[in-house]
Structure 1
Amino acid sequence: MTNDVFSKIGSGLTLSQKIERRIEEAIRQKKLLPGTRLPTEKELCTQFAVSRTALREALRRLSARGLIDIRKGSGMYISELKIEDAINSLHLFYDLRFNSDLILQIIEVRRLFEPEVARLAARNRTDEDIRTLQKNQHELRKCNPDNTQLEVDLINRFHMNLSKATGNPIVIISLEPVYSLLPRMRNLIYGNIEGEKEYTLKYQSELLEALKEKDSQKAYEASVALLERNMEIYKKYFKTN
């Protein structure tokens, strides 16, 4: 374990923040790798030349952020960061900020990214991806119109499976938290719009056809058309509410 990570921290009013930053930087620079066992609290206090109070506050924040794992009776370890951790943090952020402004921002982000996602999915999709998307669409078509919650879940699942068809995990990390809000958005805005389900099925059919043909431009254009319609619906809803 490198000595410079646990050298004297110095004095100041924000010692706990300095400790937190020192350990975080060591993780970022791969001086502390996942699974590494940290020294004991007593050892860290001595090496950092800080009080136990400042150290514990820093460790508490690092643990809350998922950077370290404090195991009772075993010690403290550098966490193995997972995609799910990043996604869950964004879920919480979006849930806490959910309002009309966020809905507009979500639609704007989708207009920027989703057409390119559709284009990439058309290039990289597998036969299994096509079967999965077809199953999603079939379930939506057969869904009881009174079961609006299942409808929005199936539509959301279609979008998620489309992002997976790109074969790029960064796309999933970026868009999964956004898609998690779609059921709430649809329940709020789209659920009572006549013909919405039929339009969604039409869009899905056009997109599926483009994916089958591996026609990236056609997939791009189908996505653009859907998102332009979403923006029109958004503006109409908030103009009258």
Structure 2
Amino acid sequence: MAVTDDAILRVREMIVTGELKPGDRLPREADLAERLGLSRNSLREAVKALSLVRVLDVRQGDGTYVSSLRADDLLGALSFVLELHRGQESTLEVLQVRRILEPAATAMAAQRVGPEEVASLRALCDTAESAHSLEELVAHDLEFHQAIARCSGNAYLAQLLETMAGPQARTRIWHGIAEGGAVERTVSEHRAIVDALANRQTELARSWSTVHVAGVEQWLVGLS
């Protein structure tokens, strides 16, 4: 194991065990390095790596602190990585993950969704149907899927799906959908999902969500 990797594991262990809690200030570099049996250079590299993924917060002139460790903060690093890898192959892999997670979130939402949320989802379908630009379609699509994920009641799942729903990739996909004349079909699938949610038909909601994401995935495969 590389020395820096070992240093990362040591610091991570302190956080996982609760020795260091969110908001805690790390001991001085020299003291922590001696305590962990690490060189100051390897500890410095570990801190740099953990700050990049937002586990640690380095404040110049003040010290290094454990971040809030909130899911939305930590997953922000994943969002950055995904935006760096937005080629066709990477986008397809992200869709494959969405095809696993979104139907599960939709099924969970069917058990919890309320009348106001259903009304909001129907309104999003209406506005998408009358959208005048690609930007509007992308915005409505993002809000539609994010709203369903939030209805799942699982904050981690909702945040993960939101992180994977990069606007750049969706813009490209919606551009293809619009050019192929499939906007009406896509909105129709959205409405079918909402109907299943409104009627608390868990498995039907899951199925429509699977069909919806799989259809986009098939379209992308057809481009290769």
TM-score w.r.t. length of structure 1: 0.80
In the TM superposition, what is the alpha-carbon distance from 1:46 to its structure 2 partner?
4.6
Larger Rg: 1
Unaligned runs of 5+ in 1: 1-11
Aligned mate of 2:149, from 150, 160, 163: 163
Aligned runs of 1:13-24 on 2, under 5 Å? 14=3, 16-24=4-12
Aligned mate of 1:226, from 201, 212, 220: 212
Contact 2:193 2:208 (8 Å CA) reproduced: yes
Aligned mate of 1:57, from 45, 49, 54: 45
Which gives a bigger RCO, structure 1 or 2 (Cα 8 Å, sep 6+)? 2
Quick one: structure 1 residues 64 and 132, their matched pair in 2 at CA, closer, same or farther if it must change by over 3 Å? same
Aligned mate of 1:125, from 113, 124, 127: 113
Kindly indicate whether residue 210 of structure 2 is the aligned counterpart of residue 190 of structure 1: no
Kindly indicate whether residue 165 of structure 2 is the aligned counterpart of residue 179 of structure 1: yes
Aligned residue for 1:44?
32
CA deviations over 1:105-143 (Å, ceiling 9, x no partner):
233223323223222211111223213212322221232
Aligned residue for 1:5?
none
Identity, in percent, stands at 23
Contact 2:106 2:209 (8 Å CA) reproduced: yes
Contact 1:69 1:78 (8 Å CA) reproduced: yes
Instruction: Report the secondary structure of 1:171's partner residue.
Output: helix
Kindly indicate whether residue 124 of structure 2 is the aligned counterpart of residue 140 of structure 1: no
Number of paired residues? Answer: 223
TM-score w.r.t. length of structure 2: 0.85
Code of the residue aligned with 2:180 in structure 1: it is I
| Separation in 1, partners of 2:152, 2:209 | 14
Contact 1:189 1:237 (8 Å CA) reproduced: no
CA deviations over 1:69-99 (Å, ceiling 9, x no partner):
2333433322211122232122122122212
Code of the residue aligned with 1:103 in structure 2: it is T
Aligned runs of 1:37-116 on 2, under 5 Å? 37-48=25-36, 51-116=39-104
| Separation in 1, partners of 2:126, 2:139 | 13
Contact 2:53 2:74 (8 Å CA) reproduced: no
| Separation in 2, partners of 1:203, 1:186 | 16
Unaligned runs of 5+ in 2: none
Q: CA RMSD in A?
A: 2.5
Code of the residue aligned with 1:189 in structure 2: it is G
Code of the residue aligned with 1:70 in structure 2: it is V
Code of the residue aligned with 2:134 in structure 1: it is T
Quick one: structure 1 residues 72 and 234, their matched pair in 2 at CA, closer, same or farther if it must change by over 3 Å? closer
Instruction: Report the secondary structure of 1:34's partner residue.
Output: coil
Moved more, 157-166 or 99-108: 99-108
CA deviations over 1:165-216 (Å, ceiling 9, x no partner):
111112213311222254234145323111x221122112222111111111
| Separation in 1, partners of 2:188, 2:172 | 20
Instruction: Report the secondary structure of 1:124's partner residue.
Output: coil
| Separation in 1, partners of 2:32, 2:71 | 29
In the TM superposition, what is the alpha-carbon distance from 1:158 to its structure 2 partner?
0.6
Quick one: structure 1 residues 118 and 57, their matched pair in 2 at CA, closer, same or farther if it must change by over 3 Å? closer
